[in-house]
Structure 1
Amino acid sequence: MLQDPFHAVTGETHADNTTHTFECLYRQHEHALFLLASRATKSPEQARDIVQEVFLKLWEKRNNLEHIQDIEAWLYRVTGNKLIDHLRKTAADQRLKTALWNSTQAKNNEPDQLLEARECNQQIHAAINQLAPQRQLIYRLNREEGMNYQAIADTLSISRHTVKNQISFALRSIQRFLGL
């Protein structure tokens, strides 16, 4: 009879029933983590994604939980880390959007200003196009198609961590290219 990998952190014994224990942990903690995430993100959809990522990480690490002494504290720590990652990504996106908006805003219809706005828009597209092919694909899937890191990782058969790093490198490259 196999021991449930969650036994070490829950104290419950469900031999050969890891799924049941995971579901219990999910039901017990999901709502509180969702409230925390939705307060920080101001978006129920983003909060759901973050909580899903937290529980996905728990499931992926289910066989290596013996070192965790307080599962609730671990869940809150992982949620906090995911929120920090999300807020950093959101801030970087907002800086790019603001730069784009500022660079393309023509105060009136003067030909010089319209030309300048077109040139700025072309520079942004050039910055994206100068990215390495895989980095550009990952960036476009995330920013233009709205796919989350895990969906991109699954689609491209790469790790979520690789996706996260590629997005980070892409943002830095675009900002450098634009002189921001």
Structure 2
Amino acid sequence: MVLLFTPNTLCPSFLLFLFFKTNTALPGKDTYDDALLIQELRQNNAEAFIELYNRYHVQMYSWLIRFVKLPEFAEDIIQETFLKIWEIRHRLNPAQSFPAYLYRISRNKAFKSLKKISLDETLRKQVLIQFEIESDDPEKRLRWLQYQQLLENAVNRLPAQRQKVFKLCRQNNKTYDEVANELGISRNTVKEHMVKAMQDIRQYFYRYGEISLILLFCSPVLILY
């Protein structure tokens, strides 16, 4: 039996029920490609929706857990992503890559989670624990090197004077007063350069990094350069 629903009958709570409780399935579902499933989904076929969820859940989780680190956040993002897929089902193009839809939506939601984590000290510490930089784990050491490279790239993109101020403050551990005297500028100018440098670098991390690297940059105890 094919499950069909009108746009107003499939509420979020029932979607979650379908995700985890239903045993219904499309006949011959393994032979359905994504385009055919999307066509069915556009006709409010919940079984097609469930099949797409089951088909991509593990793949999404594997990507998201590397990005957000916390399992509960990864699962929440997956659920929110598929709820969004249901909401926009009539606008989905069967000719377009379904994983590309999932990637765009889940990435946007992951960055929203990032903002939430960055404002919550407990959550931030949980992520940083998952990314212990002194670990002997080769993957974590590699990611620490990625962080250092990302930071170097971000600093190199700063305007010359701002870059000089940032390096003197962070690399040479000089005070604002010391930097002001060395460069012949006011202390307030040094402070303005540092504020703008941090904003520029943070934006670079948001654009090119992932959550663990961004949170490392945001950590007040981390030596940045």
What TM-score, normalized by structure 1, do the two folds share? 0.43
Q: Where is the helix percentage greater, Structure 1 or Structure 2?
A: 1
What TM-score, normalized by structure 2, do the two folds share? 0.35
Larger Rg over CA atoms: 2
Higher relative contact order (CA 8 A, sep 6+): 2
